[in-house]
Amino acid sequence: MEFVLLGFTDIPQYQWFLFGIFLVIYVIILLGNGIIILITRVDATLQTPMYFFLGNFSFLEICYVSVTLPRMLMDLWTQRGTISFFTCATQMCFFLILGATECFLLAVMAYDRCVAICDPLHYPLLMRPQVCVGLVVASWVSGAPVQIGQTCQIFSLPFCGSNTINHFFCDIPPLLKLACGDIFVNEMVVYIFGILFVTVPFLLILGFYIRIISTILKLPANTGRTKAFSTCSSHITVVLLFYGSATVTYLKPKSNEHEGLDKLLSLFYTIFTPVFSPIIYSLRNKDVRKAMRKFLP
Task: Write out pLDDT tens, residues 161-183.
Answer: 788 998 889 988 889 889 888 88
Q: Does the structure show a pLDDT above 80 at 269?
A: no
138 band by pLDDT with thresholds 50, 70 and 90: very high
Rounded CA-CA distance 17/8 in Å is: 11
What letter would DSSP give residue 256? S
Domain 2-295, classified CATH 1.10.540.10, yes or no: no
pLDDT, tens digit (0-9, with 9 covering 90-100), for 247-266: 666 655 555 555 666 677 77
pTM given for the model = 0.91
The stretch 31-48 carries a mean pLDDT of 90
For 189, how many CA atoms within 13 A lie in the half-sphere containing its CB?
A: 14
Residue in 175, 147, 172 with CA at minimum distance from that of residue 159? 175
